[in-house]
Amino acid sequence: MNIELLLTGFFGVGKSSLYNRFIYDEFESKYFGTLGVRVNEKEMVLDGIDVNFKIWDVAGEVKQSKVPKPYFVRPQVIIYVIDLTRTLSFNQIPSDIAYLKQIAPDKLIKVIGNKIDLLSENDLDFFKKQNPKITLDLVTSAKSGENVNDLFQLIGQEILGKNKSA
């Protein structure tokens, strides 16, 4: 089974770091913005089924003209990544998610809070209380690898479950 995913969100939230952690099991602490698009694949076995994840890591913001709308329409899954430590960007999240649902209404959209390694449990609780309109599907750390493979396993299992019930 093949599953295509697109990583999107503000610059510097860790999209490329999540990509590198999942594909190569690597982390680079220096920030290098993505130019254009990077595409790679990784296979996992889920419930005895070979699942090939094709991941698109695109440059730019959700609403920037640099990201062509077809990029959002092609994949089955859109992973919207936020940086849990950058409160300045939180106000944009609800409108970005609404935009994604408008241009890709039939896609599975996952909201991921990245950089959990930089927060304490109290900080995460504070984030949730201060941002009740933001529902996180999972929190990750590209740096430590926490929940990165889990993210793709959860998505794969959800897609497999939908295919079984169809």
Overall average pLDDT of the 26-55 stretch? 85
Q: What is the pLDDT of residue 136?
A: 93
pLDDT band at 62 (very low <50, low <70, confident <90, very high): low
Among residues 124, 93, 109, 125, which one has the least CA distance to residue 158? 109
Name the residue ranges covered by the structural domains of the chain.
Answer: 2-165
Q: What is the largest CA-CA distance in the chain?
A: 44
* Pick from 12-16, 75-79, 131-135: least confident: 131-135
For residue 20 the two structure tokens come to 């590198």
Q: How many CB atoms lie within 10 A of CB 75?
A: 20
For residue 143 the two structure tokens come to 């740096």
* Pick from 73-82, 128-137, 142-151: least confident: 128-137
- Under a CB-based contact definition with an 8 Å cutoff, are residues 17 and 90 in contact? no
pLDDT in tens, 107-116: 999 999 999 9
- Under a CB-based contact definition with an 8 Å cutoff, are residues 97 and 78 in contact? no
Query: Which residue bears the tokens 């959860």?
Result: 154
CATH number of 2-165: 3.40.50.300
pTM here?
A: 0.90
Percent of the chain past pLDDT 90, that is, above it, reads: 55
Q: What is the pLDDT of residue 91?
A: 78
Q: Which residues contact 27 (CB under 8 A, 6 or more apart)?
A: 17, 20, 21, 142, 143, 145
| pLDDT score of 124 more than 70 | yes
